[in-house]
Chain A
Amino acid sequence: MIKEEIKKKIRDIVGSENALDSDLERFAYSYDASFIPLLPANKPDLVVRPLSTEEVSKVMAIAYEYEIPVTPRGISSGRTGGSIPIKGGISLSLDRMTKILELDEKNMMVTAEAGVRTFDLYNYCAAKGLFYPPDPASWKFSTIGGNVAENAGGMRAVKYGVTSDYVMGLEVVLADGTLLQTGGKAIKNVTGYNLVGLFTGSEGTLGIITKVLFRLIPMPQKRRTLQIMFRTLDDGCMTIHKMLQSNIVPATAEIMDRTCLEAVARHRKLDLSPDIGASIVVEIDGEDDKALEKQVKQVETVAKACGSIEIRIAQSEQESDELWAIRRGLSAAVAALAPNRVGEDISVPRDSLPEVVRRIRSIAEKYKFTIAVYGHAGDGNLHPSLLCDLSNQEEAKRVHQAVEEIFKAALAVGGTLSGEHGIGTTKQPYITLALGEAGVKTLKAIKQALDPKGILNPGKIW
């Protein structure tokens, strides 16, 4: 409970229409896009929607003084419970801070507020021939603050890397309201600890990110999209390996299994040939049509050698957009196949991908679940989706056992728990398994140093 006089102080800072405290409004800010159940609702005591860094700083100062938990939030499209205010307190929504402050064309860098939508940032830079590559599937509505806090990936990661590869500087409001500026436009910078790297991926537990300085690269001139069908997931994975080993680096290489293809076919009323067991969607980019033609031929050669059944090359931008719309909607289409979907985000060394997929298949058989597999085959980041009904007690138990085995399988082949979704609350129980005692102890020491009162997104990660 936040006392009325404290609420009043906060209203004076952000305006009363930006401090929401009715039951229903607070309910609307109690969930994200994870499988954490909607009820019982994890309502914050107050939803605060600042417009500027100054407002964030003042609100944090109050929260620090009165020891009120603060859970930062963009648009709550996260998949792991990171923005759910499980300890109540303030839900600090930065989605009104939507200004792109500066596009520095000479240095190829852009500065933007935390609430800017990723897709808007991409388009803004693209208009000047500059490329901000990270493209999480949620990019039309997710915010860059959230992307940085979770170190979001996206389909282009295989060629272009993840969000952290582009963060050059941050403006962070610390737990007590102090404003920290770190990093900058200098390409090489080793001045003190790498705080930019520390806050990136910190899931709102070390500070509130209010501004981000990103580096950009020149926009590729031409793009082409291909869809390749295979009999098995193995054949698909093999194709991607051979491609990468032959120095054919696709901009994206997304793989999906038959269950996924069926989910899509259901919605779009498509016919799916019975011998297709998996599909890859590949995007290649380059300087000109000649360069693309060469890559297309190389991809076709490798794919055929690995047993591809069918290759479809998108002939127009519209066709290309269609293929990508299917991939971006895949997560939700798969989730629609069952009352509940427990989706994971395991990340393994690339060459272990076929092996971990085999292990997932046997786990599915052992625990009698359908597990839809799709993901970023190019960088070893897979999203196995367990289709189930969590309202069934017995099934819920089996789900947890299956998920634990999936994590163990990922760790056993040299991988980890999360490629891009973060830990939040959904993977907390496995953090020690992944990082070891020393790892978790170090996390806690850093947390203690930066947030001694434990008010920043409490109850997450470990």
Chain B
Amino acid sequence: MHKASDNELLQEAKKNVSQCDRCGTCLPVCPLFGVKDVELSSARGKNAIVRALAEGGIEPTADVLAAVNFCLLCRACVETCPSKNKTDEAMVNVRQYLINQGGGPSVKYKTIGSFLKSRGMVKIAAGALSILRKVGLNSVFPNGMVPEEYTRAHFLAAFAGPAALGQKVPPSGLVVTASTKVAYFKGCGMRMMFPQASAETLKILKTTTQVMVKANVCCGMPHLAHGLRGEFLDLAKRNIRLYEDVEAVVCDCASCGGALKHIAHYFSEDPEWKDRAAAFSRKVMDLTEYLVKVGYTPRQKVDTTITYHDPCHLVRGQNIEKQPRDLLKATGKFVEMKEADTCCAGAGTFHIDYPEISSKIIEKKRRNIERTGAAIVVTGCPGCLIQLTKAAKASGGKFKAMHISQVI
């Protein structure tokens, strides 16, 4: 398996942002710059680091690692850059480079990596949580709400850091008919943190067709985010093989969906896997993407005000923003919130690694939700849902946070 050499990584990163002319357009859209307004928070600052590293103007120090880690990979900068510099991809490349320099991923992420690689271990974690529910603590944790007490381990186990997703993938061109073989991809986040929502997704899918549920492994995004590129590729191969007899793979997690759609990109130079990976990525659809394609009508219409938060990996990673809104408009009184597509600062473990910054950002989100008067804020990503649930709690119960499958 080809392992990118260190210098190649740096040069790749430099290429990602080579058209940066330091204009400054990225500064006002960066959620991190919005709460910590020093130059290093911004994409411009990060691009300068990348260039200087690649040209030998600065040394790869701990400060530099901290600076490149301090990025949500939300792509707000990429979207707004007049030259479309890809700062998020550069960050992933530089992180990999720095990790290689430092002798490999930190122990913490190696542990998470092996945890998530093993389907068995992920199932046990999910089981532990479901036991909590079985013993009647279910009423304390209503549908879609995260348990009040959660350990850092649960989260580290669930997600390990934000992850970049390369080019924005266009919506799926797949034509879905009554005879299309459809499978549900059960991601680790949904499985462990929001099993009820995952069950709802399956219920919904079953009303549209006969759905297959296979023993999939982790989509590998957490591994990619933290320098375990090799592991990501292994997991990808296992999932590719698993779904080879299926024509559509539907996913209710924005991050998993985005990662799975990008698998083709990561194998584009591999003569053995190139075509199989491309065929697999073409099958992947987000839940909302699939439901709109098959003309799904929500199970009920309610007289409730609903608003929506765009997961970064859906709106900017997969170009999906209309479908969830169309489904919600058919469900209740939909109202658009300000900055609906601004990152919630969940970003994997970002909210654990940078709790203060993350709270400041989610504070802004809470105010925006409250301003809409919505009773429910809906999203399509478990990572976002964790943050939105914190916001719901901070609002003193003014609104609830739910996964879209629990609402439509």
Contacts and interface: CB of A to CB of B under 8 A. Distances in A.
Interface of A: 20, 22-25, 27-29, 31-33, 35, 38-41, 49, 75-77, 95-96, 117, 138, 140-142, 267, 328-333, 335-336, 339, 341
Q: How large is the interface on B (under 10, 10 to 19, 20 to 34, 35 or more residues)?
A: 20 to 34
Given A332-B83, A333-B83, A335-B19, A38 B52 contact: yes
Nearest to A49: B38
Contacts of B63: 22-24
A20 to B, nearest CB: 7
A267 B67 CA distance: 29
B39 to A, nearest CB: 4
Interface in B48-81: 48-49, 51-52, 55, 57-58, 61, 63-64, 67, 81
B166 to A, nearest CB: 18
B83 A33 contact: no
Interface of B is mostly: loop
Interface string B18-32: 110111110110000
5 contacts: A24-B61, A27-B58, A76-B22, A333-B83, A336-B19
Nearest to B55: A39
Given A35-B21, A331-B82, 4 more contacts: A27-B49, A40-B57, A41-B57, A335-B83
Contacts of A335: 19, 21, 83
Interface centre among A96, A328, A336 (most CB of B within 10 A): A336
Nearest to A18: B38
Given A24-B64, A27-B48, A28-B38, A142 B21 contact: no
Contacts of A330: 82
A183 B61 CA distance: 50
Nearest to B41: A28
Contact of B24 (A23, A39, A138): A138
Interface of A is mostly: loop
B24 A77 contact: yes
B110 interface: no
Interface in B93-135: none
Interface centre among A22, A28, A333 (most CB of B within 10 A): A28
Given A39-B57, A41-B52, A75 B84 contact: no
Given A28-B48, A39-B57, A96 B83 contact: no
Interface of B: 18-19, 21-25, 27-28, 37-40, 45, 48-49, 51-52, 55, 57-58, 61, 63-64, 67, 81-84
Contacts of B27: 75, 141
Given A23-B63, A333-B83, A28 B39 contact: yes
Contacts of A77: 23-24
A332 B58 contact: no
Contacts of B23: 33, 77, 138, 331-332
A33 B21 contact: yes
Nearest to B57: A39
Nearest to A96: B37
A38 B57 contact: yes
B82 A333 contact: yes
Contacts of A141: 24-25, 27-28
A38 B48 contact: yes
A95 B37 CA distance: 9
Contacts of B48: 27-28, 31, 38
A87 B77 CA distance: 31
A79 B331 CA distance: 51
Contact of A75 (B24, B52, B57, B81): B24
A49 B18 CA distance: 29
A329 B82 contact: yes
A32 B19 CA distance: 15
Contacts of B22: 31-33, 76
A131 to B, nearest CB: 22
A106 B403 CA distance: 51
Given A24-B61, A24-B63, A117 B83 contact: no
Contacts of B67: 24
A397 to B, nearest CB: 22
B40 A28 contact: yes
Contact of A28 (B45, B55, B57, B83): B45
A49 B40 CA distance: 14
A20 B83 contact: no
Contacts of B18: 339
Contacts of A341: 21
Given A23-B63, A24-B40, A141-B28, A38 B51 contact: yes
